[in-house]
């Protein structure tokens, strides 16, 4: 498929669309984070957690603004939200339990974002998106760390049936986050063979490595919270996302 593409016309277009698809979904994720963290201000159980969440609301508003301007003024192309990401954002925003907002937004979604930003930061040659990504990464690392702190003791004495809800949520969220990176809408819009492209995206060596890097910030935190149970571990293995179990993120 790749060798049939015209290097002057098709490949630059494909690159622009893939960049826009990736960054557009960061924009939509940031909008979700803006809403979710404003809900955390309401739902968090302690004043400290509320103050911190309020600061995070402002961070997320700046992130939305930065990605929005970059997409409109530089790439001049914005993709709608991936249905997989949308489903996860809806789950986080409509669940009334405060710990699901932390677990979904700070541990899962921001964990994956941190992994993806790290890959973009170390591979892009474009100085503006490199600088934007670096600034946002510093904020997100703080957000993830705070989420883990806020949840530290939440699961220690939880009843098994309540805990199973959290385990299932982690696995459903992981599947949605994995599928959100397969660029489905890009293949469709550029008229490329949908099924073959999705299969190639799902099974290529590069994407397998990328997936494991994405989850390298999630798995250790799930473990830290006491949620890397045999049930969750088996689910991670089936999703092919577990590799860096105790790797300490440096960002």
Task: By CB under 5 A, name the binding residues for Fe ion.
Answer: 30, 33, 60, 63, 110, 140, 143
CB closer to Fe ion out of 20 and 133: 133
Least CB distance to Fe ion at residue 95 (A): 18
CB closer to Fe ion out of 106 and 174: 106
CB closer to Fe ion out of 63 and 166: 63
CB closer to Fe ion out of 65 and 162: 65
Least CB distance to Fe ion at residue 140 (A): 5
Contact 191, 13 (CB under 8 A): no
Least CB distance to Fe ion at residue 64 (A): 8
Least CB distance to Fe ion at residue 30 (A): 5
């Amino acid at each position: 498929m790749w060798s049939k593409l015209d290097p002057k016309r098709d490949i630059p277009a494909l690159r622009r669309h893939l960049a826009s698809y990736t960054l557009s979904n960061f924009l939509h994720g940031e909008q979700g984070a803006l809403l979710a963290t404003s809900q955390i201000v309401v739902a968090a159980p302690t004043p400290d957690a509320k103050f911190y969440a309020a600061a995070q609301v402002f961070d997320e508003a700046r992130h939305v603004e930065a990605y929005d301007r970059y997409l409109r003024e530089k790439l001049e192309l914005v993709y709608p939200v991936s249905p997989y990401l949308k489903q996860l954002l809806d789950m986080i925003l409509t669940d009334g339990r405060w710990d699901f907002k932390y677990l979904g937004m700070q541990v899962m979604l921001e964990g994956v974002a941190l992994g993806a930003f790290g890959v973009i930061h170390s591979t892009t040659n474009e100085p503006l998106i490199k600088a934007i990504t670096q600034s946002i990464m510093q904020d997100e690392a703080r957000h993830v760390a705070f989420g883990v702190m806020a949840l530290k003791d939440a699961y220690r004495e939880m009843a098994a049936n309540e805990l199973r809800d959290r385990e299932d949520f982690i696995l459903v969220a992981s599947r949605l986050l994995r599928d959100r990176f397969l660029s489905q809408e890009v293949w469709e819009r550029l008229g490329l063979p949908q099924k073959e492209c999705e299969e190639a995206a799902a099974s290529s060596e590069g994407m397998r490595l990328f997936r494991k890097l994405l989850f390298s910030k999630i798995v250790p935190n799930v473990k830290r919270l006491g949620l890397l149970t045999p049930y969750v571990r088996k689910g991670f293995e089936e999703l092919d996302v577990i590799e860096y179990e105790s790797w300490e993120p440096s960002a």
